[in-house]
Structure formats: structure tokens, C-alpha cells
Amino acid sequence: MKKTKFWLPAAFILCAVILNITGRACRPFTDFYVTYIFPIWGAAYGKVTGLVPFSVGEWMLYLAVVMLFVLVLGGAVYVISRKKLPDKWKCIYRKYSLFVYWIFGIVCVIMTLNCFLLYQSSPINERYQIGAGQKREYGISEIALVRDYVVEQANALSVTFDRDEKGYLIYTSPLKEEAKAQMRKLGEKFDVLSGDYPDPKGLAMSGFYSQQYIMGYYFPFSMEANYNRQMYLTNIPVTMCHELSHLKGFIREDEANFIGYLACVDSDDSLFRYSGYLSVLGYLDRDFFRAVGEDSEVYLAHPLISDLVMEDKKFLTQETWEKVEEKAVLKTETVKQAADAFLDTTLTLNGVEDGRISYSRVVDLLLQYYDGILY
């Protein structure tokens, strides 16, 4: 019985290792998994956690931190005071260590199935026809056309909203149902996106995630799409759609950005369309500015981003930032640096060599999507 208790978690870990190696070595295997198995497994898993009104994954994460702290602290006491500790306490610590070992083995398998394997699947533009369906090199003229189109759409929408005395958008319609509806609608183009979706869930400790400049979070071990409740309103629709796309197996951030954009700009709701355009505006404008180089006259000859749009692109309002800083335990700069390092490491280990920069690859997908539409 004791051997079984020890070796079964080891078997879980070994299974996770084998799956990861297989996924990296055999793309057809991961494509088959993402297309036919993950949608069934993920939907069933997500339905269970979706019954809970709060983010299960968020609290699982905090619990994991506490469990690890107890394990390390208990281990230090066990080593230092082993001879003085009563046998009862030694037995309790051994059982607790075994329990954590079991949890670790199970988490390794779940993370592999719900996250790591997904990174090894074929990119979206190889699985589906996007735009004209042909990959080719795009230059400054194509970047300019897409960038100008998005700028013009955002500028036009920015003046259509009701605003309060501070200039902040006023919006009262429910967001979650529209986000799910738009994702289901997009399933007509990308069949993997069809089917049911659980409600996106607001993060309880959004202030801490704001310090990391995180808009949303996909928890693989609970199959939940989470969003930062403290963000400025314009960020929420596209973030919901972005995180919901992860639940359907689109784990790469550039692809989730692309899907979030498409889901939003196809909506009848003006806030969703505005949110979609704002979400890619920075990436497009930056790439266009780099393409132009030092020739400011060329840049200024194109439609400029209005002051109202620039104001609406904020992450948090000034009042919210002040509340976040007031309640913060650690400095925002410290939290941000640690979060960036963790994210870069995670993405790199999963084969995304350019780390956080991969988010901006949404521009490549947009250029391909608008091929045959704008040029």
C-alpha cells in the first residue's frame, strides 16, 4: 500500500513528461488532441468549475502558495529539530508531504493536458484559412492600410458614447452574455470555437493583478476565463473574448488577441467593437511607426489617433490606480518585474521563444486576415 501511495504520483509525473515529449516531437498528435479530445475534456471540466460563482483557479493558486509555504517551513523545522520532535508530529509532516506530492503529480498531468500540449499544436493560420488564404510578405503599404482602418474606426466610435463628467464611458448593458455570444458566432468561421462557454469570472484580488498589468488570466487547472475587474471599461469586452478563446485550445497569446479582436469587431454592440479596435491599435501603430523610421512627415500624413481614443486606451483610471497603490503590500514596480520574468520564462519553456513580445504577432495575423479585404 505504501509503495502504491508513492509510485502512483510518480506515474502521473512520468505520464506528463511523456505527453510533453510526444507533443513536442509529433505535431499531428497535438493537433489531433487539440481538435478532438481537448474540446470534450475541457468543456466537461469547465462546466464543473463554472457552477461556482467565483474563480476557483484563483483561490487554488493562493492555496498552493500556502501549501508550499507550510511544506518548506515544516521541512525546515523537521530537519533542524528532528530529534526533539514527537513521533506524532513527524508522522503528520510525512503524511502532509505525501499529500503535496500527490497534488503535484495530478497538477502536472492537468497542466500538460490544459496548457503545455496546446502550445505544440499547429498555428491558427495553418489550421484555418485566414483572409485570402495565402501567406506572403507584407510591407509598409499593407501595414499602413490596416493601421489606418483601425484608427479611423476607433476615432469614429469614440465620439458615440455617453460619458460622465470625467470623460469616462458610461455603459450599463451586460458584458458576459455578449462575449459568449460573439465567441459562439465566431465558431462559424473557426469550428473549434463553437459550443458552450462558461461565464468569464472577475478576479477577486484584481488590485494585485493590476500591479502586474494583467488584464485577464486563464487558469489551466480550473479551465476558467478570468478578467481584471478594476480595468477601465474599454478593456473588458476584448479581454473576456481573449480569455474564452484559451478555453477552446488557442493558448498562444497572439492567436487569442486575434480571436478576441475578431469576436469584438463583428459585434452589433459599439463598446465591443471599440474594445476590439483599441486592443490592436497600439501594436499596429508601433509597427507602422517602426516601418516609417525617422520620416515623421510620412507618419503624420496618415490618420492620427484622436486624443479621445488615446485617453480611452488607458489600463486603469487614475482614481483606481490610487486605490491600488494605497492597498498594495509590495511596490508595483517590483510586482511587475517579477510577473514579467515569470511570464517570459513560462512562454519560452513552452516554445514561444520571443516571450511577451509574441503578443504583438497579432499584427501578422491581421495583415493576413485583411488580405483580400483592404488590399
Domain borders along the chain are 2-120, 131-369
Average pLDDT over every residue of 120-146: 88
Phi, psi of 15 (to 5 degrees): -60, -45
Rounded to an integer, what distance in angstroms lies between the CA atom of residue 253 and that of residue 360?
9
| Distance in angstroms (rounded) separating the CA atoms of residues 188 and 217 | 25
Report the DSSP beta bridge partners of residue 225: 218
For residue range 247-299, list pLDDT tens digits in order. 999 999 999 999 999 999 999 999 999 999 999 999 999 999 998 887 788 99
pLDDT for 270 equals 97
196: amino acid identity, one letter: D
Mean of pLDDT values over 102-113: 95
Residue 353: band (very low, low, confident or very high) from pLDDT cuts 50, 70, 90: low
- Whether residue 343 is predicted with pLDDT greater than 70 in this model: the reply is no
Q: What is the pLDDT of residue 65?
A: 94
Tell me if 305 sits within 8 A of 155, measured CB to CB: yes
Write phi, then psi, for 301 (nearest 5 degrees).
-75, -10
DSSP state of 213: T
82 pLDDT higher than 80 = no
Portion of the chain with pLDDT greater than 90, in percent: 76
**Positive/negative CA dihedral, 56, 57, 58, 61:** positive
- pTM score of the predicted model: 0.90
The set of residues, in sequence order, having a beta carbon less than 8 Å from that of 365 and lying 6+ positions away, is: 124, 125, 130, 254, 255, 258
In terms of average pLDDT, the best of 63-77, 129-143, 288-302, 329-343 is 63-77
